[in-house]
Amino acid sequence: MPERDFLSSDDVTEKEQTRLLELAAQLKASPREFCDRLAGRQVALIFEKPSTRTRVSFEVAVTQLGGDAVVLRGDELQLGRGETIADTGAVLAGYVDAIAVRTFAQERLTELADAATVPVINMLSDLEHPCQALADLQTITEERGGLAGQVLAYFGDGNNVAHSLMLSGVKAGIHVRVATPRGYEPQPGIVRRCEEIASSTGGSARVTNSVEEAARGAGILYTDVWASMGQEDEAAARLQTFAGYQIDEKLVDLAEEDVIVMHCLPAHRGQEIAAGVMDGVHSVVFVQAANRLHTQKALLAWLLAG
């Protein structure tokens, strides 16, 4: 059987996603039980963009499972001098048991995965952030008591985080609403795929330009930065475009009384989220960040140790 990769939230079935979340819950409750699951295994972590959470949580995840992580910056590799991503993948697969990559175009990941004979994990691309979405689902399960039937409203840019959240959310039976300014909607192909998934899971995906429409009665409010890594030149213009899309007290008031507020972080208080909301009673952003560790341990154990 060819090795499994995790390049997209759509690379796992609904059942596999549920199983991964169950495993993550077990790993969180009894971390010691799994401390030799990756004994003698090596994992390369390649970063072509900056990272705090993903880098540290992946490195710690591998270590806590008894394996070894090799952290590599893209500009320190021969990649920075023109070696292809495919050759890099083929070479690394001779040394390590899995390769995790944070990069720009999704095609770089597929090229590397096609050439590598070991599992490849997407640690964020311009298109998706599937590891983040797993931690988001674990957090929603813990904080809201389940996934199916929940109403999640995402505000801001229809970006990588939104794409993975939509795919994995709908797969879990969540009703996902996405409110963006005109021209910043999620990619149509992702929305179509979500509608396809929804037809068998009971979830739904709805895209709107109205923040009120998205927030009304929601149990989960979610946002991300307005300018992603690689869009620094657009940051000033985006401040204007996205001005009405901040999660503020007004939006919280439109949602359910016990709404939770999520952000994948890093956050910019006063831009995509009001400081009072980010640091307020509804915010679960640091639980969410902590859950990156447990869900990634589950993912590594599943991909590498069956």
Nearest one of 1, 20, 280, 218 to 134, comparing CA atoms? 20
CB of 51 to ligand CP, least distance (A): 4
Please indicate whether residue 292 is annotated as part of the active site. yes
Active-site residue identified among 64, 175, 264, 282: 264
Active-site residue identified among 37, 53, 129, 177: 129
Stretch that binds ligand CP, among 51-59, 73-81, 86-94, 184-192 (CB under 6 A): 51-59
Q: Is 246 in the site for ligand NVA (CB under 6 A)?
A: no
Contact 296, 131 (CB under 8 A): yes
Please indicate whether residue 81 is annotated as part of the active site. no
- Between helix 85-92 and helix 106-115 the angle, nearest 10°, is 40
Please indicate whether residue 131 is annotated as part of the active site. no
Q: Is 128 in the site for ligand NVA (CB under 6 A)?
A: no
Q: Which does 52 bind (CB under 5 to 8 A by kind): ligand CP, ligand NVA, none?
A: ligand CP
Pick the closer one to ligand CP by CB: 130 or 219: 130
Nearest one of 70, 91, 71, 72 to 80, comparing CA atoms? 72
Q: Is 264 in the site for ligand CP (CB under 6 A)?
A: yes
DSSP code for 276 = H
Binders of ligand NVA among residues 178 to 197 (CB under 6 A) are: none
Active-site residue identified among 144, 263, 282, 292: 292
Pick the closer one to ligand CP by CB: 8 or 204: 8
Q: What b/e string do you get for 127-147 counting C-beta neighbours within 10 Å, with b at 16 or more?
A: bbbbbbbbbbbbbbbbbbeeb
Q: Is 176 in the site for ligand NVA (CB under 6 A)?
A: no
Q: Which does 204 bind (CB under 5 to 8 A by kind): ligand NVA, ligand CP, none?
A: none
Nearest residue to ligand NVA, by Cβ distance, number only: 228
Q: Is 133 in the site for ligand CP (CB under 6 A)?
A: no
DSSP code for 269 = B
Indicate the residue type of 44. Answer: A
Please indicate whether residue 282 is annotated as part of the active site. no
Q: Is 229 in the site for ligand NVA (CB under 6 A)?
A: yes
Please indicate whether residue 4 is annotated as part of the active site. no
Please indicate whether residue 224 is annotated as part of the active site. yes
Q: Is 225 in the site for ligand NVA (CB under 6 A)?
A: yes
Contact 64, 36 (CB under 8 A): no
> Quick one: tokens of 32?
């010691």
Instruction: Give CA–CA dist 224/236, Å, rounded.
Output: 16
**Neighbouring C-alpha atoms within 13 Å toward the C-beta of 71:** 15
Q: Is 139 in the site for ligand NVA (CB under 6 A)?
A: no
* DSSP of 153-220: EEES--SHHHHHHHHHHHHTT-EEEEE--TT-PPPHHHHHHHHHHHHHHS-EEEEES-HHHHHTT-SE
Given the rule CB under 6 A, which residues bind ligand NVA? Answer: 124, 159-161, 224-225, 228-229, 264
Q: Which residues does the annotation mark as catalytic?
A: 102, 129, 132, 224, 264, 292
Write out the residues near ligand CP by the rule CB under 6 A: 51-54, 124, 132, 264-265
